[in-house]
């Protein structure tokens, strides 16, 4: 059962921004935290931030000031925008859900590859 579906591949220039979407079922959108995690090529998982069912957000220190997570309640979609892109932002970006509050991610999306290159 697919709970989260992300937008497709992105290719961006250094210094630009990218906005990745994560569409959830209405039930997931209303009852789950949605987190963002990224994985650079050949590297491990890196936590980015969260949006809760009330729309509140929290970001990892490494991304504060450069990332914004928003949502559209009319389409049950969550967005992650990363600004001032650098080559080391090249990664697969995942959204994942957490039943509130259980402290684990029970379902992950398929991921979106973002390539930053001049």
Partner 1 sequence: QSALTQPPSASGTPGQRVTFSCSGSNSNIGSNPVSWYQQLPGAAPKLLIFGNNQRPSGVPDRFSGSKSDTSASLAISGLQSEDEADYYCAAWDGSLNSYVFGSGTKVTVL
Binding site for partner 1 (CB under 8 A): 35, 37, 44-47, 58-61, 94, 96, 102-111
Measured from the CB atom, is 62 or 73 closer to partner 1?
62
Q: How far is the CB of 32 from partner 1 (least distance, A)?
A: 13
* Dist CA 103 CA 84 (whole Å): 30
CB of residue 76 vs partner 1: minimum separation in angstroms? 20
Q: 50, 35 in Cβ contact below 8 A?
A: yes
Residue 59 in contact with residue 110, Cβ under 8 Å? no
Joined together, the tokens standing for residue 66 give: 């450069």
Rg, Å, the chain Cα set: 13
Closer residue to partner 1 in complex, CB, 79/105: 105
Q: Which is nearer to partner 1, 35 or 71 (CB)?
A: 35
């Amino acid at each position: 059962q697919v709970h989260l579906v992300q937008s497709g591949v992105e290719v961006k220039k250094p210094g630009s921004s990218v906005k990745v979407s994560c569409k959830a079922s209405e039930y997931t959108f209303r009852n789950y935290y949605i987190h963002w995690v990224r994985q650079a090529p050949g590297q491990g998982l890196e936590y980015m931030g969260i949006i809760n069912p009330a729309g509140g957000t929290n970001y990892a220190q490494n991304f504060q000031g450069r990332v914004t997570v928003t949502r559209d309640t009319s389409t049950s979609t969550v967005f992650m925008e990363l600004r001032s892109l650098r080559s080391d932002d090249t990664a697969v970006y995942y959204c994942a859900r957490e039943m509130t509050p259980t402290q684990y991610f029970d379902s992950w999306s398929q991921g979106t590859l973002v390539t930053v290159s001049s």
